[in-house]
Amino acid sequence: MSKFNIVAATGCPTGIAHTYMAQEALEQAANEAGVQIKVETHGQIGVENALTAEEIKNADAVIIAADKDVHAERFEGKKIIDVSVSRGIKDADALIQQAIDGKGRLMVSTNRNKNSGTQEFNSEESEKTNIGRLIYKHLMNGVSHMLPFVVSGGVLVAVSFLWGIYSADPTNAQYNEFAATLNEVGGLAMGLMVPILSAYIAQSIAQRPGLVVGFVGGLVASNGGTGFLGGIISGFIAGYVIVLLSKMLKGLPIALDGLKAIFLYPVLGVFITGLLMVGLSQPMETINIAMMDFLASFQDSNPVILGLIVGSMSAFDMGGPINKAAYVTGTALLAQGNSYFMAGVSAACIAPPLITGFSVLFFGKYYGKEERNSGFVNFILGSTHITEGAIPFAAKDPLRVIPTLMMGSSIAAILTYLFKVQVPAPHGGFLVLPVVTNGLLWVIAILTGSIIGGFALGMIRKHSAGVLEK
């Protein structure tokens, strides 16, 4: 008798850690349950361990643990358990058992002609899916594709400043041709942030026909000065315009399916979305400027409150939606020339893994061998801005560990704002120190928060060990 066969797909917005942690958790849970599993990962380097059509066909169940689009339409006719990537990490055993028990929803396509290469789009709100999670999933699909543009562009622009803050200005004595080229290339990459965000939100909602409409809508939003907020709005408008058009054009003969895909959807979609975004640009630009000014004003008026908010958000779920809200706000402000806000966000994201590292360093005898090894590895992960390394520690005792991590991150962020540090690159951790303004003070801020947090976490662990001994 053949083993029960499961296929799975995992993916998180950044595609750095959660994606592979969920893969590992599902594989381990399946092995313990005595069932067969193949997990496809959707990370930043693309799809790995890809599922073949034959493997999907022979699967008894499908698990999707992702906060981005993983092309679920492939699993038509299969029962799918669709959860967030964090559930894939924390509840892998339960998900495997649910798959064995035959739970999940049946994936039903509305495609009328599979050979036509087109698909009728169905608003997923009609499915038994949490609408809030659905919106988050579409948004994070846009964010995951946007981040490499922001990171690559931001780092190149930051490196160009090594030749001087005015090194890209031909009229200034600091001008350097190579630095100017770096600045230009990096600026182009950063400039694609809003269109890419919009395009892949729309693509998540309406598959490929949504892509072009979302991209053009994002360009209109970007040119209209609506910023990051405009990209989000245009992406959702574009996606659901295509969904609406697919319903309106559903009665056309099958022979015209090709015409719909290459002519009617893009032309009508771009026309409708473009007009709507032009009309919305002025009020949204006003809202966007007001929002950015409000956030930026905290830096001078009350850096303690700002640092407390940013630190708590960054460490609360370490790569989850609350963490991403702080990080994405930082990247949006960075794209508009504000590098102060991102400095605090980066500090708060770097601190949690370092906190676990210092805790293991100071109180090693209260940790197991595996935990000690993980803690020391977290010195490397934290130094390169990979917050997720602290998740295994938090998962074992969330009620005490997470508040401790939030405290340490908040101290790091508060000190960063008080020291008026500027970080012009959205990722990289200590690797971008050469381009950080007041870099030494930034390191001091992060280490202060991390050491205090590490000592507190160690004392908690020591107390727990004492209670157990009694």
- Given a contact cutoff of 8 angstroms between Cβ atoms, the answer to whether 429 and 381 are in contact is no
Q: What is the rounded distance in angstroms from the CA atom of residue 457 to the CA atom of residue 401?
A: 7
Question: DSSP string spanning 232-257?
Answer: HHHHHHHHHHHHHHHHHTTTS-GGGH
Q: What is the rounded distance in angstroms from the CA atom of residue 15 to the CA atom of residue 407?
A: 26
Q: Which residues does residue 41 pair with via DSSP β-bridges, in sequence order?
A: 10, 48
Closest C-alpha among 192, 181, 201, 200 to residue 223: 192
Closest C-alpha among 206, 275, 197, 208 to residue 241: 206
Q: What is the rounded distance in angstroms from the CA atom of residue 9 to the CA atom of residue 88?
A: 10
Q: What is the rounded distance in angstroms from the CA atom of residue 211 to the CA atom of residue 223?
A: 18
Q: What is the rounded distance in angstroms from the CA atom of residue 299 to the CA atom of residue 420?
A: 8
- Given a contact cutoff of 8 angstroms between Cβ atoms, the answer to whether 298 and 306 are in contact is yes
Closest C-alpha among 327, 453, 454 to residue 16: 327
Give the strands of the sheet with 105-106, arranged side by side: 46-48, 36-43, 5-11, 61-66, 79-83, 105-106
- Given a contact cutoff of 8 angstroms between Cβ atoms, the answer to whether 82 and 114 are in contact is no
Residues in the chain: 470
First CA to last CA across the chain, in angstroms? 50
Q: What is the rounded distance in angstroms from the CA atom of residue 153 to the CA atom of residue 430?
A: 18
Q: What is the rounded distance in angstroms from the CA atom of residue 299 to the CA atom of residue 314?
A: 17
- 7: buried, middle or exposed (CB in 10 Å: 19+, 13-18, 0-12)? buried
* Known active-site residue 12: yes
Question: Which of these is catalytic: 9, 12, 243, 412?
Answer: 12
Q: What is the rounded distance in angstroms from the CA atom of residue 410 to the CA atom of residue 399?
A: 17
> Hey, which residues are catalytic here?
12
